[in-house]
Chain A
């Protein structure tokens, strides 16, 4: 079983709507959690990085939350745009900097 589970696997929303992607992890001892956006055919782009002491971080219309007690994170996208269509990947690292990747959520924003 993967130590980082993302849900849903895929999501389709209408332009302008909000959505929330989930990431649950069992990685321990926890160091940091990252969210990446990966457009089709391109490399991942970092959206946020959060450490144990941070419970929310924003990057424009993207807001990530972290609950280190329940080992859950979410990525909220506000007022979605067509360019938000991409895969969103959650990555959790332990104190040894070993990174565990989620399988990603494939988001499609339709006009």
Chain B
């Protein structure tokens, strides 16, 4: 069974559209994260979410919003997509927010045309 899964794996869309990426973890973890990896392979954390507490990286535009319907899911909604949003987005989870191993999903490759 996949521990952290994301859908879709690939997403190609037009500039200005609104899209969502889904993430689910079956590890029973309390904390989930979203990361962005740009074309230079630089990873950057976007959000972490734990017990209804959301911590946002201040550099993330407010067009990006995470939504957690329950503890096992943290979906990423992106409004008014821009060319610069093209990247690979990774979801991850850990037992708590502390010094814990994070388990990453396979990534969603987003291309904005």
- Whether A103 lies near B40 (C-beta < 8 A) is yes
Which B residues are in CB contact (< 8 Å) with A87?
A: 41
A31 to B97 Cα, complex, angstroms: 13
- Whether B97 lies near A97 (C-beta < 8 A) is yes
Partner of A44, one of B43, B48, B55, B99: B43
Secondary structure dominating the interface of B: loop
Binary flags per residue of A35-59, CB closer than 8 Å to B gives 1, else 0: 0000001111110010100000000
Residue of A nearest to B102 (CB): A46
Minimum distance in angstroms from B40 CB to a CB of chain A = 7
The answer to whether A32 has its CB under 8 Å from any CB of chain B is: yes
Q: Which of A49, A93, A97 has the most CB of B within 10 A?
A: A97
A31 to B106 Cα, complex, angstroms: 27
Known contacts A87-B41, A99-B45, A103-B40: A42-B107 contact under CB 8 Å: yes
- Whether A101 lies near B99 (C-beta < 8 A) is no
- Whether A103 lies near B101 (C-beta < 8 A) is no
Binary flags per residue of A75-111, CB closer than 8 Å to B gives 1, else 0: 0000000000001010101000101010110000000
A: residues with CB less than 8 A from B are 31-32, 41-46, 49, 51, 87, 89, 91, 93, 97, 99, 101, 103-104
Which 8 residue pairs across A and B have the least CB separation, nearest first?
A43-B104, A101-B43, A46-B101, A32-B99, A44-B104, A43-B90, A99-B45, A43-B107
